[in-house]
Amino acid sequence: MGIQERKEREKERRRQQIIVAAKKVFSDKGFNRATMDDIANEAELSPGTLYLYFKNKEELYASLSIRILQYLNIRVEQISGAKELQPDQKLDAMIEAMFDVYEFDPLVIINMFHLQSSETLKNLSPQVMDEIKDLSRKSIGGISKIFAEGAKKGIFIKRHPVALSDTFWAFFSGIILWSTSKKIINKDKDYLKKTLGIGFEIFRQGIKIKSRS
Amino acid sequence: MGIQERKEREKERRRQQIIVAAKKVFSDKGFNRATMDDIANEAELSPGTLYLYFKNKEELYASLSIRILQYLNIRVEQISGAKELQPDQKLDAMIEAMFDVYEFDPLVIINMFHLQSSETLKNLSPQVMDEIKDLSRKSIGGISKIFAEGAKKGIFIKRHPVALSDTFWAFFSGIILWSTSKKIINKDKDYLKKTLGIGFEIFRQGIKIKSRS
Amino acid sequence: MGIQERKEREKERRRQQIIVAAKKVFSDKGFNRATMDDIANEAELSPGTLYLYFKNKEELYASLSIRILQYLNIRVEQISGAKELQPDQKLDAMIEAMFDVYEFDPLVIINMFHLQSSETLKNLSPQVMDEIKDLSRKSIGGISKIFAEGAKKGIFIKRHPVALSDTFWAFFSGIILWSTSKKIINKDKDYLKKTLGIGFEIFRQGIKIKSRS
Amino acid sequence: MGIQERKEREKERRRQQIIVAAKKVFSDKGFNRATMDDIANEAELSPGTLYLYFKNKEELYASLSIRILQYLNIRVEQISGAKELQPDQKLDAMIEAMFDVYEFDPLVIINMFHLQSSETLKNLSPQVMDEIKDLSRKSIGGISKIFAEGAKKGIFIKRHPVALSDTFWAFFSGIILWSTSKKIINKDKDYLKKTLGIGFEIFRQGIKIKSRS
DNA sequence: GATGAATGAGTATTCATTCAT
DNA sequence: TATGAATGAATACTCATTCAT
């Protein structure tokens, strides 16, 4: 039993070791130019070993998304379930969470997009795909609830909550991607934050129902 | 003279023939999985011929962006220079223009992102790169002017116009990319439009200064 | 008749125009890296036109050799037939002729070697091949006669004259090729001449029968 | 340790296996028409494997030269350092060595010339280039010493030893190349030997200072 | 489990040659 | 005759994946 367990833990450590290496390499080179050899070197393992833990390159890449989605999910659940917060406060908290997600892994967005490509999906094992779908659904659902609650209380505009949730995510993605592609990130990290800030401010203002004074 | 001209026109037709084929193939498979042979087949030409009109794969891809940027630019200039329109009306017109740009070529955004990759830029000929840079600058500039004018007239929030312009573009990109990656486009074209609609409404509301009544 | 003749002359001029261009381009880039387009550009003609005058790239290249072989042949015949000269004086004259051949076209040797490749020969039209063979045979024959005469008169060592002739040519080739490959030519033209000088001196001394004094 | 060593030996065997195949294919087809696939087939390996042992086609080709240069070098050093031999005996030994070099690999000369091309040099890794340069320098140096010694002792003509060394090499190259290009080698191996023999005899006689009797 | 050597399918690009005008 | 646009075969090199050890 103890041995079984230790083995299990050892195995998990290996997975993490690979994931960390993969994150670095994919970050540096992007999916296409990153090679399995690069990742193996970074992880100080042999290429063959990677295939003991991940079915293929796509699935290794996908697993990076799972990690970040898990993190996001925890945050969303906390915020969504916080009874002491009003919808607009929850929205602010969500925005803050998004910042953190981005800091945790700036590749998030690119990962997420890559993941959706039908070619990619073909190469994933069902269980990995299911986990991703499940996590995505939960996250979107959690955010939706905030918008629904806000609409119900007359604080936010009345729109289909899932559509709003998508829009929120799309907005966030857009700014990050745009900034990234303009190579602003490395040179002027603040510019991205500022842009994200402006963006979220606009979003916040845009969905608020103005209280008449 | 007539001959010269006819040849010129013939040549331009070929370019378009290739561009149309490239657009289709890149749309279907993305940059990396699209092969020059695919494009040649689609264009009913030989692979060698592609290289008579475009220096390499990257430059062929880039030329798709140039085409759409040119279209966008015309629209931006018209709107930006329309003296009879108020800033908020111009913003509405811009949003409409963005819709049209998207309809003209749903790949826009992906093209634009691909274009920014440093690896891509290396393979472009200077003149192509200059044209792209010039067109981008003009478009962003035109949109900025609208925000600046709106801010001056007290209709829009006061923020750095270029940052707003970036945000506007990022927002637009985000929604398209997100929808695209969710493969919503083909299945439910209206959902994308709806999402874009909601998004822009939020944006519009978000930057408006509310007149107190 | 006059028209016929003028056409003929016009045609010959074109051939020369192409040959001159080809010589330059092959000199600069070598056979493999020189393209038919390069040559067409240099000749200010279209690529298609080259094929009206030469069957293919190989044959165009071969015709450069014919030109130089023709020149060499004239010199050999003059020297070989000069009754007022002794064999050793003829050898000196031959050496001088070789210098001139080299100055006329430093590519000679490389041309000659390329020509011998069986792959090349396959692509030549029979008449071109015959001309080359004929010219080669004549040149070698002419030189051989000098050695034979020298041997007969007890001035040169007694060896098979054709073998000596080959050796003479090989020696000459070797020095030029070696110098060329060491890129000495362009930088230090004199070094090549000096080396050729030393080489020929050795050769001259090597085949002389020393008169005892 | 044993394992490490066996692997090392295995690896070296593979290199040799490839080199042998490459030698054959390059011999048959020349550098340009030989394809990496040809070589892979000949070596009964996959094309990809070749690249595990050699950076590229050029470097594979170059390594053939290194092999023969190493062999030559050993011979040169032995001869040059043999105190019991007189300069003229050393020259004879050198000539014999040249025969052996040629027998070891008749491509020597062509390799050496190919190697000098600037295009080739660009694709070689520095360490390979350095090794080649070093080996060449040593060989030429060793031969030069013999000529210098001979001149000092009044046996050979007084000429710049490096120039003589170049001439010696050029002479050797010329005969081989000429014979090879005339495809004499395969058909009449003896003719080449005879020609080489005559050539070297001429060379020997040409640089000797005649003792007056 | 771990290795890493070997695999071999996949692809952008070039360029001699052709042929409709 | 001359053109030059179009052709398409040919090829070096990469890299995800496998499998014998």
Examine the domain organization and report whether D20 and D71 are in the same domain. Answer: no
My answer on whether A95 and A195 are in the same domain is yes
Tell me if A166 sits within 8 A of B178, measured CB to CB: yes
- What is the SS3 assignment for chain D? CHHHHHHHHHHHHHHHHHHHHHHHHHHHHHHHHCCHHHHHHHHCCCHHHHHHHCCCHHHHHHHHHHHHHHHHHHHHHHHHHCCCCCHHHHHHHHHHHHHHHHHHCCCHHHHHHHHHCHHHHHCCCHHHHHHHHHHHHHHHHHHHHHHHHHHHCCCECCCCHHHHHHHHHHHHHHHHHHHHHCCHHHHCHHHHHHHHHHHHHHHHHHHECCCCC
Using CA coordinates, name the residue in chain B closest to A200: B206
Give the nearest partner residue to D198 out of C163, C183, C202, using CB atoms. C163
Pairwise CA distance, residues A209 & C121, whole Å: 88
- Using CB atoms within 10 Å of the CB of residue B126, give its burial: 0 to 12 exposed, 13 to 18 middle, 19+ buried: exposed
- More confident: A3 or A63: A63
Find the closest chain B residue to A213 by CA distance: B212
CA distance linking residue A190 with residue A195, whole number of Å: 8
Domain membership of residue B165 (yes or no) is yes
Give the pLDDT confidence of A80-97 residue by residue, as tens digits: 999 999 999 999 999 999
Q: Are residues B18 and B96 in the same domain?
A: no
Helices (H), chain B: 2-33, 36-43, 47-53, 57-81, 87-104, 108-116, 118-122, 126-152, 161-181, 184-187, 189-207
Query: Does residue C83 sit within a domain?
Result: yes
Domain range for C198 = 57-207
User: Is A170 in the same domain as A143?
Assistant: yes
Would D177 be classed as within a structural domain? Answer: yes
Across the interface, do C198 and D164 touch by the CB < 8 Å criterion? yes
Residues C105 and C76 in one domain: yes
Kindly identify which residue of chain A lies nearest to residue B117, measuring between CA atoms: A181
Q: Are D41 and D86 in a shared domain?
A: no
Q: What is the pLDDT of residue B103?
A: 83
Residue C48 CB lies within 7 Å of the nucleic strand E: yes
Residue B45 lies in a domain: yes
> What is the C-alpha to C-alpha distance for residues D194 and D196, in angstroms, rounded to an integer?
5
pLDDT value at position A147? 94
Q: Is A106 helix (H, G, I), strand (E, B) or coil?
A: coil
Q: What is the CATH number of the domain that holds C178?
A: 1.10.357.10
By C-alpha to C1' distance, E12 is nearest to B36
Same domain, A107 and A46: no
- What's the pLDDT at C212? 45
**A89 and A191, same domain (yes or no):** yes
Domain boundary among C9, C33, C54: C54
Give the pLDDT score at D104. 82
A213 inside domain: no
Q: What are the structure tokens assigned to D73, written together?
A: 């070098």
DSSP SS3 for B123:
coil
Distance CA A19, CA A25 (A): 10
In a domain, A181, yes or no: yes
> Phi/psi of residue A188, each to 5°?
-140, 80
Q: What is the arithmetic mean of pLDDT over B71-83? A: 94
Q: What is the mean pLDDT of chain B?
A: 88
pLDDT tens per residue across span D97-125: 998 888 888 778 888 878 877 778 888 99
Residue A44 has a pLDDT of 96
Residues B108 and B125 in one domain: yes
Task: Tell me the residue type at B42.
Answer: E
Which residues of chain A make contact with B202, given a CB cutoff of 8 A? Answer: 157, 167, 202-203, 206-207
pLDDT over threshold 80, residue B25 = yes
Rounded Cα gap, residues B171 and B167, in angstroms: 6
Q: Take residue A1 and report the two structure tokens written for it.
A: 């039993």
Q: How many domains does chain C contain in total?
A: 2
| Domain edge (last residue) among B28, B54, B80 | B54
Same domain, B65 and B165: yes
Question: How many angstroms separate the CA of A148 from the C1' of F20?
Answer: 60
Structural contact between residues A113 and A178, judged by C-beta atoms closer than 8 angstroms:
no
Question: Nearest nt (C1') to D32 (CA)?
Answer: F11
In a domain, C200, yes or no: yes
Q: Which of A54, A73, A91 is the last residue of a domain?
A: A54
Pick B41 or B116 by higher pLDDT: B41
Distance from residue B47 (CA) to nucleotide E11 (C1'), in Å? Answer: 11
Give B102-152 pLDDT, tens digit per residue. 888 877 888 888 887 777 888 899 999 999 989 989 999 999 999 999 999
pLDDT in tens, D142-196: 999 999 999 999 999 999 888 899 899 888 888 888 877 776 555 667 777 888 8
Render C79-90 in DSSP notation, one character per residue: HHH-TTS-HHHH
Nucleotide nearest B52 (Cα, C1') = F5
Contact in structure between B42 and B25 (CB atoms under 8 Å): yes
pLDDT in tens, A108-146: 888 888 887 777 788 899 889 899 989 989 999 999 999
pLDDT band at D1 (very low <50, low <70, confident <90, very high): low
Mutation site, A102, A109, A132, A171, interface B, largest B CB count within 10 A: A171
C137 and C72 both lie in a single domain: yes
pLDDT of residue D183: 63
Using 50, 70 and 90 to split pLDDT, how confident is the model at B213? very low
| D200 assigned to some structural domain | yes
Task: Check if residue B57 sits with its Cβ under 7 angstroms from strand E.
Answer: yes
For residues B109 and B17, membership in a common domain is answered with no
